[in-house]
Structure 1
Amino acid sequence: MSRLTPDQVLATPAGELAALQSEALFQLKNDAADLLSVARAIVEHIDRALELKYADRAHALRLAAGKDTGIVHFDDGHVRVTADLPKRVEWDQRRLAEVVRRIANGGEDPAEYVEISYRVSETKFNAWPESLKSAFAPARTLKTGKPGFRLALMKE
């Protein structure tokens, strides 16, 4: 079978692709992974160029608006540029736990001020004795992700 172009692959129903020999599917998957890798590298390279071109202008507009982060808009010729510098706040978990304890010790409900979530490492859970697991099991729900398949061409 000759190699299919990306357009041909997309035009071929998945059922027909599934009927192909495993070697052909292996090649299609590898070709797609190569295209994806190249496309990601191109996007990253262009994003670096856009940052070099527009970061100072966007920064100046944010300063003029009295903000450090967020979205600003400006025109460059016939192109409308939307520059977004998202805010990413991180909280020190140990210090937050101390504040939550002080709030609780003061007689108030910490849930009125902070969102609290719990996680259990699956590795640790599996290593626990059954007596401990049984206490936690009702709070545990197992969900599956998207199935994945890796293909490796074996030597003949």
Structure 2
Amino acid sequence: MNDITLFPADIAEMSVSQLAALPAAQKAEIDKNLDEAIAWLKKARTKFDAALDAAYGEQARTALRESGRDFGTTHIDDGALHIKFDLPKKVSWDQKKLSDIAAHIVAGGDKVEHFIDMKLAVSESRFTNWPPSLQQAFAAARTVESGKPSFTLSFNSEH
């Protein structure tokens, strides 16, 4: 990071309106410095998490297996340090195979929603390329909301 004129503590103490009133150069500086700090913190967090896994991961996984589980939460101690280890279960489903199973359920006369959570979606690029008559058929099922805005700052000479 370069020479910071507004430190994180200063920024945290400022109101939104005070930050909005800052000169453009200071806004650009804050934006750049925050992005650099976030990137640094993410790298540091990833490295430290890997170190914790190297130090305690096998012991914690063994404790889980000994309790008859492959996933979940266990607690271990390293002297005065108490470590809560959480290994979540991450499940993914093969969409093609689920679709085939759903077709068999329907063919058997059962309701698919009794067995499978279904979420239908239409990609926005597909929707916008449809003819107007098809868009109208789907319009009542479509809701458009704004997402979280993002801002990328640069000086005029940089683009």
Deviations 1:33-68 (A, max 9, x none): 111111111111110100100111011111101111
Residues 81-105 of structure 1 deviation map (CA, whole Å, 9 limit, x = unaligned): 1111110111111111111111111
How far has the Cα of 1:16 moved from its partner? 1.1
**Alignment identity in percent?**
32
Q: Distance in 1 between matches of 2:38 and 2:98?
A: 41
User: Which residue does 2:106 correspond to in 1?
Assistant: 104
The root-mean-square deviation of aligned C-alpha atoms, in Å, is: 1.4
The within-5 A match list for 1:4-153 is 4-153=6-155
SS in 2 for 1:71: strand
- How many angstroms apart in 1 are the aligned matches of 2:108 and 2:157? 69
2:156 counterpart SS class: coil
Q: Residues of 2 paired with 1:112 and 1:140: CA distance?
A: 25
Q: Distance in 2 between matches of 1:91 and 1:149?
A: 36
Which letter does structure 1 place at the counterpart of 2:128?
N
Residue by residue, what CA displacement relative to the aligned partner does 1:121-154 show, whole Å, maximum 9, x if unpaired?
1001000000111111110000111112111012
Q: How many residues of Structure 1 are paired with residues of Structure 2 in the alignment?
A: 155
> Secondary structure of 1:62's match?
helix
Which stretches in structure 1 are left out of the alignment for 5+ residues? Answer: none
Q: For 2:96 and 2:6, locate their aligned partners in 1 and report how far apart those are by CA, in whole Å.
A: 55
* Aligned partner of residue 11 in structure 2, secondary structure: helix
**Aligned AA (1:128):** W
Could you list the structure 1 runs, at least 4 aligned residues long, displaced by more than 4 angstroms after superposition: none
> Secondary structure at the residue paired with 2:30?
helix
**Residue ranges of structure 2 left out of the alignment (5+ in a row):** none
Q: Helix, strand or coil for the counterpart of 1:139?
A: coil
3-state SS of paired residue (1:117): coil
